[in-house]
Amino acid sequence: MTRIGIYPGTFDPITRGHMDIIRRGAKLVDRLVIGVTTNPSKSPMFTLPERLAMVAREVADVDGDIQVVAFDALLMTFAERQGASVIVRGLRAVADFEYEYQMAGMNQQLNDRIETVFLMADVSLQPIASRLVKEIAMYGGSIAKFVTPAVCEEVVARVEKLGRKGD
């Protein structure tokens, strides 16, 4: 039986922190499905098709069976459709844990056959958050430490198109 894991997120943009969790998560399952989702509470910088392409490009050289799939449904519904038995989530700080703990509990109520596995982000990557990467870029700061060179170029180009703040 193939063990399938889901790593969900908006990936707007995908960061080095996300990549760390993807590399490590891919070792835990036979297939890792990266679920790129919409989130009504967030205002994405990149469209869903742009984020799908960005994530697919970034994970192309990662070892393992990795698929990048869009979804706009409850996570557990998506996981069931993918045949997943594991949800992979990354943790950066205590605040992440509180939110993720609550979500894992709710998800367990929806389907107790799917386990949530938490991976601690590498210490050097713990402060990285897509929201902060975008904010730094919008104010003209360097994001090169937080994302790959290709993602950096895409974010900088988008910021130039949108207009930088603080000018």
- Highest-pLDDT range among 71-80, 101-110, 125-134: 71-80
**What is the average per-residue pLDDT within 90-104?**
84
Domain ranges, ordered by start, for the chain: 4-123
**Helix (H/G/I), strand (E/B), else coil: 124:** helix
| Selected catalytic residue, list 42, 131, 145, 164 | 42
d(CA 88, CA 38): 18
Per cent of the chain over pLDDT 70 is: 98
92 a catalytic residue? yes
Residue 134 banded pLDDT, cuts 50, 70, 90: very high
- 5-31 tens-digit pLDDT: 999 999 999 999 999 999 999 999 999
Among the four given CATH numbers 3.40.50.300, 3.40.50.2300, 3.40.50.720, 3.40.50.620, the one describing domain 4-123: 3.40.50.620
Q: What is the pTM of this model?
A: 0.92
> What local confidence, expressed as pLDDT, does residue 163 receive?
81
Active site includes 23? no
Res. 79: pLDDT tops 90 = yes
85 is known as an active-site residue: no
Local structure of 116: helix, strand or coil? strand
Report pLDDT for 83.
Answer: 97
| Of 24, 31, 57, 92, catalytic | 92
Active site residue 164: no
Summarize the confidence of residues 134-142 as an average pLDDT: 94
Kindly state the helix (H) or strand (E) to which residue 131 belongs, with its residue range: helix 130-138
Question: Do 89 and 118 contact (CB within 8 A), yes or no?
Answer: yes
Given the residues 18, 51, 89, 134, select the one marked as catalytic: 18
Residue of 39 and 120 predicted with greater confidence: 120
Chain segment 114-127, per-residue pLDDT in tens: 999 999 888 888 88
